[in-house]
């Protein structure tokens, strides 16, 4: 029997396989997922593990062995390389076709390699993944063929950046085989002994799934859809119940190497691991192409029993979200008795559409009511991804006649209500590492409206809440935006001229709110107006201003009066991202006035050179008692990723990405070189947006002391 070289290029497939969420969950359980990774095992929030891709087309491998005419008693699964084109949906049908692409000869008694490639498409038409299978045919070498390419993979000569321990259970193969690989070697003790083992062994692909979970956990936690490549060599058998660890080396550029090690024997069981992943932006862009969906997500909409809120609730449910329809069921001015009818009616509408929704009748205006609204989501659906603060009432009155109670009622629903509901929601989202919050502002607040001082004050106060909450949520994946709608509802029917009623349907606002609630939306801290199909962004702009008078001498009011045209000018006005940046225009104005020529540099050091030089310029006396890791993300030509760990007065500088830096510094290569050369002031760089800092802002101020560049 010999390998059939004519099998190269001959098509294999199509292989058809239907699967449901249960298959994805059984697979995830088979590779060790549990309560601490509910996303892989809970159908309400399911994310399919990328390595499910090979388990789902496992039959293809058997076809490769048969088609190539390999000696079946000598075949081993040698390597597996998977390229991902998009996230794997939680159910559907898979259509796989491919072919053997190469047969390599390692030499007499050294075996042969049969390499095959297969593309898998989902029943929705999307190409999901490409598998490159390598079969090691121990008994088929020595036929005089090409030896094949040499793999240059080498484990970095340093400790791994992260290590994930795991303990597959003694019964692990019994669970894993439910995903399709029922070969007796993994279940039948007699067969295992006859094959030269003490007992049934782990499936290599089961260990592969453990490694896949480990790299996601450390490199792009909670976002399996970002994986673009996962490659391993199966190097040693492993018995179930033996502790393992996945050792990961980050290489920079969203690439890492890994190995899986048998912790008892020290043997490498999975070798030459390569994982690659895409940026969050790219992942969001790709998901956007597939349509904005909310499957598995849970949304709370306040005031959803009527008008705009009802519309948001229906549209979110249509696109897969489970919805808490909150509404007190009150009159437009919030007076009189409440009624469950409004919320119930919308829940009935959603249920009739085949969606999932529960009603909540609590008022947003009390702390207890608001907490009950969020609890309703968690008790009913087990999670919370989206909050739209929409409940509203009006008590219009010209200011000189405004009664304290009218002021208080409007504040209580719009401003206190937003605080009351958002606080428990935000706490939950912050912990979950994901959330989308929308506040409802209004043109009355943004620009003013006669007779609405209470309402305007509340609606603009929400912008202040938005501005600061955006900064607090950014590190935790919680994005916050505001919509200022205009639509015909019971609140506005009497104000909007009848000829515009049809044009201004609430349905024309909902697409913006859905976008802001979606995973694909990168915006945070922004205000959008929407009505009648017209959408625009509203922003606060800060004028460039001017310096008045001599440095250090207070100008007179008359000086200011003369300079008022320049002070008021909005030419070249900019958006300021946070109060920390407000010094930016001021420093720039002084710089523009300064006649000092910029210092000229006589050398052109590289960013890489600077990082190499860091240990020389390090000031250990400044580092006593410090435990801090600075991650540097330097963009542009010559840039890259480096991190500096300082502990007990010691410095370690490495290329790559640290998994839990204290502070992350983002700068362009040009600015970083200028900063190191003393030509760019850190404060000025920060206030003008040329230096971005994530994480512990205060610690960033140590950099100038710690390194005498």
Active-site annotation, residues: 455
Tell me, residue by residue from 631 to 650, as one string, x for binding to ligand NAD by CB under 6 A and - for no binding. Answer: --------------------
The residue range among 196-204, 270-278, 300-308, 622-630 that interacts with ligand NAD, by the rule CB under 6 A, is 300-308
Tokens in use for 569? Answer: 């000018």
The CA distance from 24 to 52, in Å, is 7
Question: Cβ closer to ligand NAD: 26 or 391?
Answer: 391
CB of 600 to ligand NAD, least distance (A): 56
If one asks whether residue 513 binds ligand NAD (CB under 6 A), the answer comes out as no
If one asks whether residue 393 binds ligand NAD (CB under 6 A), the answer comes out as yes
CB of 528 to ligand NAD, least distance (A): 12
If one asks whether residue 305 binds ligand NAD (CB under 6 A), the answer comes out as yes
Tell the residue number behind the tokens 């996601």, with chain if given. Answer: 216
CB of 304 to ligand NAD, least distance (A): 7
Tokens in use for 590? Answer: 């002084």
Residue 196, Ramachandran bin (φ over 0: left; ψ between -120 and 50: alpha; else beta)? left
Question: Cβ closer to ligand NAD: 494 or 599?
Answer: 494
Q: Is the separation of the CB atoms in 94 and 56 below 8 Å? A: yes
Q: Where are the beta strands (DSSP E) in 150-265?
A: 162-166, 227-234, 244-250, 255-262
If one asks whether residue 306 binds ligand NAD (CB under 6 A), the answer comes out as yes
CB of 488 to ligand NAD, least distance (A): 7
Question: Cβ closer to ligand NAD: 219 or 346?
Answer: 346
The residue range among 268-276, 327-335, 579-587, 649-657 that interacts with ligand NAD, by the rule CB under 6 A, is 327-335
Tokens in use for 489? Answer: 């509802």
Q: Is the separation of the CB atoms in 345 and 306 below 8 Å? A: no
Distance of CA 463 to the CA centre of its chain: 25
- Buried/exposed code over 610-646 (b: 16+ C-beta within 10 A; e: otherwise): bbeebeeebeeeebeebebbbbbbbeeebbbbbbbbb
Report which residue's Cβ sits closest to ligand NAD: 307
If one asks whether residue 308 binds ligand NAD (CB under 6 A), the answer comes out as yes
Q: Where are the beta strands (DSSP E) in 636-676?
A: 640-647, 650-655, 663-668
Which secondary structure element, helix H or strand E, spans residue 289, and what is its range? helix 280-289
Question: Cβ closer to ligand NAD: 270 or 365?
Answer: 365
Residue of 7, 207, 262, 442 that binds ligand NAD (CB under 6 A) = 442
Question: Cβ closer to ligand NAD: 51 or 489?
Answer: 489
User: Residue 138: how many CB atoms within 10 A of its CB?
Assistant: 17
Tell me, residue by residue from 467 to 506, as one string, x for binding to ligand NAD by CB under 6 A and - for no binding. Answer: ------------------xxx-xxxx--------------
Residue of 330, 479, 524, 664 that binds ligand NAD (CB under 6 A) = 330
Q: Which of residues 344-383 bind ligand NAD (CB under 6 A)?
A: 363-365
Q: Which of residues 171-230 bind ligand NAD (CB under 6 A)?
A: none
CB of 371 to ligand NAD, least distance (A): 13
Nearest-CA neighbor of 134 among 161, 166, 102? 102
Question: Cβ closer to ligand NAD: 7 or 302?
Answer: 302
Nearest-CA neighbor of 485 among 533, 453, 539? 533
Please give the angle made by the CA atoms of 688, 693 and 696, to the nearest 5 degrees: 135
Pairing of strands 244-250, 162-166: antiparallel
CB of 393 to ligand NAD, least distance (A): 5
Site size toward ligand NAD (CB under 6 A) is 33
Q: Is the separation of the CB atoms in 117 and 98 below 8 Å? A: yes
If one asks whether residue 413 binds ligand NAD (CB under 6 A), the answer comes out as yes
The residue range among 216-224, 303-311, 423-431, 635-643 that interacts with ligand NAD, by the rule CB under 6 A, is 303-311
HEC states along 305-352? CCHHHHHHHHHHHHCCCEEEEECCCCCCCCCCCCCCHHHHHHHHHHHH
Question: Cβ closer to ligand NAD: 181 or 416?
Answer: 416
**In 177-275, where does DSSP find H-type helix?**
189-194, 204-219
If one asks whether residue 273 binds ligand NAD (CB under 6 A), the answer comes out as no
Sign, CA dihedral 35-40-42-45, equals positive
The residue range among 4-12, 204-212, 388-396, 663-671 that interacts with ligand NAD, by the rule CB under 6 A, is 388-396
Q: Which of residues 650-709 bind ligand NAD (CB under 6 A)?
A: none
Using CB under 6 A as the criterion, which residues of the chain lie in contact with ligand NAD when the complex forms?
302-303, 305-309, 326-330, 332, 334, 342, 363-365, 390-393, 413, 417, 440, 442, 485-487, 489-492
């Amino acid at each position: 029997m010999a390998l059939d070289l004519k099998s190269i290029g001959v098509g294999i497939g199509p292989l058809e396989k239907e699967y449901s969420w249960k298959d994805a969950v059984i697979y995830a359980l088979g590779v060790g997922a549990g309560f601490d990774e509910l996303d892989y095992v809970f159908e309400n929030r399911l994310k399919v593990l990328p390595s499910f891709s090979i388990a789902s087309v496992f039959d293809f491998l058997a076809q490769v062995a048969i088609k190539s005419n390999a000696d079946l008693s000598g075949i081993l699964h040698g390597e597996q390389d998977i390229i991902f084109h998009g996230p794997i949906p939680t159910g559907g049908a898979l259509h796989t076709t491919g072919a053997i692409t190469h047969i390599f000869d390692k030499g007499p008694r050294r075996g042969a390699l049969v390499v095959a490639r297969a593309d898998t498409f989902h029943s929705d038409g999307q190409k999901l993944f490409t598998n490159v299978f390598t079969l090691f045919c121990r008994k088929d070498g020595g036929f005089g063929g090409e030896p094949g390419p040499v793999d240059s993979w080498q484990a970095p000569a340093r400790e791994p950046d992260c290590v994930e321990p795991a303990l597959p259970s003694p019964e692990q193969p019994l669970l894993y085989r439910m995903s399709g690989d029922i070969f007796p070697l993994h279940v039948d003790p007699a067969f295992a002994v006859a094959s030269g083992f003490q007992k049934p062994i782990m499936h290599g692909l089961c260990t592969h799934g453990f490694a896949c979970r480990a790299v996601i956990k450390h490199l792009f936690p909670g976002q399996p859809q970002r994986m673009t490549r996962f490659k391993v060599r199966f190097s040693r058998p492993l018995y179930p119940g033996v502790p393992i660890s996945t050792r990961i080396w980050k290489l920079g550029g969203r690439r890492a190497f890994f190995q899986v090690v048998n912790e008892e024997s020290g043997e490498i069981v999975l070798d030459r691991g390569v994982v690659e992943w895409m940026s969050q932006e790219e992942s969001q862009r790709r998901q956007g192409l597939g349509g904005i969906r909310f499957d598995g997500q849970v949304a709370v909409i306040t005031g959803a029993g009527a008008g705009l809120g009802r519309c948001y609730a229906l549209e979110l449910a249509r696109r897969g979200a489970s919805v808490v329809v909150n509404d007190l069921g009150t009159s437009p001015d919030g007076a009189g008795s409440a009624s469950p009818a409004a919320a119930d009616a919308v829940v009935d509408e959603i249920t009739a559409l085949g969606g999932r929704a529960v009603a909540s009748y609590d008022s947003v205006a009390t702390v207890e009511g608001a907490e009950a609204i969020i609890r309703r989501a968690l008790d009913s659906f087990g999670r919370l991804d989206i909050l739209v603060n929409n409940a509203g009432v009006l008590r219009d009155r010209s200011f000189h006649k405004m009664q304290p109670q009218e002021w208080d009622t409007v504040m209580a629903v719009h401003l206190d209500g937003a605080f009351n509901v958002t606080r428990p929601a935000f706490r939950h989202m912050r912990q979950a590492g994901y959330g989308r919050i929308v506040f409802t502002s209004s043109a009355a607040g943004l620009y003013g409206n006669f007779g609405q001082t209470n309402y305007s004050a509340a609606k603009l106060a929400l912008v202040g809440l938005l501005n600061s909450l955006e900064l607090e949520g950014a590190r935790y994946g919680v994005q916050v935006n505001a919509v200022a709608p205009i639509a015909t509802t019971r609140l506005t029917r009497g104000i909007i001229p009848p000829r515009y009623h049809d044009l201004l349907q609430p349905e024309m606002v909902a697409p913006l709110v859905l976008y802001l609630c979606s995973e694909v939306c990168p915006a945070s801290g922004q205000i959008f107006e929407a009505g009648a199909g017209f959408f625009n962004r509203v922003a606060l702009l800060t004028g460039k201003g001017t310096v008045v008078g001599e440095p250090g001498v207070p100008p007179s009011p008359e000086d200011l009066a003369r300079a008022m045209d320049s002070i008021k000018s909005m030419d070249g006005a900019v958006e300021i991202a946070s109060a920390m940046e407000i010094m930016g225009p001021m420093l720039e104005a002084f710089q523009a006035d300064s006649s000092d020529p910029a210092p000229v540099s006589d050398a052109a050091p590289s960013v890489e050179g600077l990082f190499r030089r860091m240990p020389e310029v390090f000031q250990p006396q400044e580092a006593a008692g410090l435990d801090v890791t600075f991650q540097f993300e330097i963009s542009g030509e010559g840039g890259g990723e480096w991190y500096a760990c300082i502990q007990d007065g010691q410095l370690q500088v490495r290329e790559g990405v640290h998994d839990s830096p204290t502070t992350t510094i983002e700068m362009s290569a040009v600015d970083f070189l200028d900063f190191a050369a003393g030509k760019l002031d850190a404060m000025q760089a920060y206030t003008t947006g040329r230096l971005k800092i994530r994480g512990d802002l205060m610690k960033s101020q140590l950099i100038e002391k710690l390194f005498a560049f």
